[in-house]
Amino acid sequence: MDETIGTLSERRLRTAGFAALAFVVVLWLGVSALAVSRQGTWPDEAAYILKSWWYVSGAVRPYSAEDATWYQPLIYYVIGLWQWMVGHGVIASRSDTVLITAINIGLLAGLLRRLNCGIWPIVFAIIVFALTEDSVFYFSSATPYAFAICLQLIALHLMLTMRGNAGYALAIALGVVLTMIYFVRINLVSFIALSLAIVWVRAGRDRWRVYAFAAGIFVATWLSLAWLWGQRFVYVSLWFPIVTDWLSRAGVMPYPHAMSLSQQLLMQGVPSRSLPELLSYMFGPDMMLNWLVAHHVVPLAAAVFALGVLVFRRSPNRGWIATFLAAYLFLLLFHHFGAQSYCPICIQGYANYFNYFGALAGALALSGWSGPPRRKAPGGPVAAGAVAAALVLASLQSWYLSGSNRLPSIRNQASALPSEVRRIGAALKGHLPANSLVGLVSMDPRIPLALADADARISPVALSLTSFYRKLNDNLTAEQKAVATAEIAELSLWTDSTAENWMRNDYEFLLVQRRPDRFPSWLIWAPDAPLVTRGLAKCFERIDARAFDDVTPPLSVELYRRTGRGDACVSD
């Protein structure tokens, strides 16, 4: 009788778990649909949307003097091929990522099932992975996050298949996936290193077969792309902060003078610190609370829960819980330390590449919480409580993420970005001939998207003006200035002399952003900078001015047509 009651109770719990799973998936799908159509954007996403279509359509050649690209190539072609099939607008480009995230949810659930997790821990993992403010935002944008996670999850599935051996097919498959991971984002070399460590344990004596195939596939792929795209690809595809600068100075890398004889003013706010000062800043309350916990409290809480179960309770899958926790901690620290030289707060974004490890560890811990290993599903109160707590915590995180570090998410956007882009593009289209090249005095990512919608062309360097600006070092000789300037131009970066050439000759039209007016004081290609003010007065006439007060944030622009060329445009 007791066994019958227990079986009936377990069936009801399992049925309730499937209902919870359906609810969570539908909730994720609805929120993602809203995000795709309404959330804001930022320069990186705008660049991915535009460059992906440029590369696939042949409008721009990657790793050229026009566009050195500066990121690994694979994600552009993933998004670009999707755009070729369904369209290259904002919504069409973002829908690719949502589809990949759906695949990721399936891969995550499948991995947990292979580790004998029941339905309730899987529901918990999906909430932790896909229903936080940051995960909805980044997994509904045209960026590499979802695709990078997809490849990582596939790699984990392949490594889980290894049980003391690895056949040729498995070794080749993992080699292909790890190579793809590298050519999505170079910082994912950290995951590749972690994978090779897991292979050492899982593949037994066949580990050398896996290593040999992985190395061979990577080298063959890299050499083929280097032959296709040349030395700019060589430079960018091997670019690591500090390491590349040192190799360039040693003469091993091409373009040895571009970085060593210039500086990126955007990074002036990153002070040089001693090790104790660096650690105090990295793990101080501002960084930890405002840039890590505020954005990632849900997966961090799942990881802490998993650590508690690991320490205080014997449960199944202890080895995998420890592995996923160690991986999560290692990857967070690797990226937090690595970003200090160029973007101290970037752990906020980078953590999204690896939060799924917190979800996996938390789900495995929840699965083992209820007692004997033979039970695959935790007790009803524990399971329901964990799922409810995850949903509540995710909601609170979204609600309180409203300060200076907030995301331009669906909650913070007063109007839908894709419709904003169409409105702005339609307003500009009547003044611009089709396929005309337009110069941008702008930092707002909505403007290049709107110009593309208006069938105008923009230079790739205009997509990240502040990031691509290089100021020559003081006290350089004339020869050093000439060499550094030439190399900077080869890498599609820009200097003062580049901006002067833009003003002298390069654009038939200039679009100037007036609002938002947050331009760095050092930026010489800015609306109120002397070079631009003087050039507009002498060599351009204003043909239109538009204000869009109901968009978020309010935007106003002016469109100018060139009336003169030459040194008169830059001289006093």
Q: Is the dihedral of CA 305, 309, 315, 320 positive or negative?
A: positive
User: Which pLDDT score, from 0 to 100, does residue 510 have?
Assistant: 97
User: Which pLDDT score, from 0 to 100, does residue 371 have?
Assistant: 47
In sequence order, the 6+-apart residues with CB closer than 8 A to the CB of 336 are 282, 347, 350
Mean pLDDT split into 10-residue runs, the chain, 572 residues: 56 87 97 95 96 97 95 97 96 97 98 94 97 97 98 98 96 98 96 97 96 98 97 90 72 86 75 80 92 95 95 88 97 92 89 98 88 50 86 91 84 82 92 93 96 94 93 95 95 96 96 94 95 97 94 93 96 84
Of 127, 204, 572, nearest to 386 by C-alpha is: 127
User: Which pLDDT score, from 0 to 100, does residue 54 have?
Assistant: 97
Q: Is the dihedral of CA 220, 225, 228, 234 positive or negative?
A: negative
Q: Is the dihedral of CA 326, 71, 347, 413 positive or negative?
A: negative
User: Which pLDDT score, from 0 to 100, does residue 356 have?
Assistant: 98
Token pair of 12, please? 């009801």
Under 8 Å between Cβ of 259 and 240: no
In sequence order, the 6+-apart residues with CB closer than 8 A to the CB of 38 are 410, 413, 415, 416, 417
Surface-to-core class of residue 224, CB atoms within 10 Å of its CB (0-12 exposed, 13-18 middle, 19+ buried) = exposed
User: Which pLDDT score, from 0 to 100, does residue 374 have?
Assistant: 46
User: Which pLDDT score, from 0 to 100, does residue 5 have?
Assistant: 45
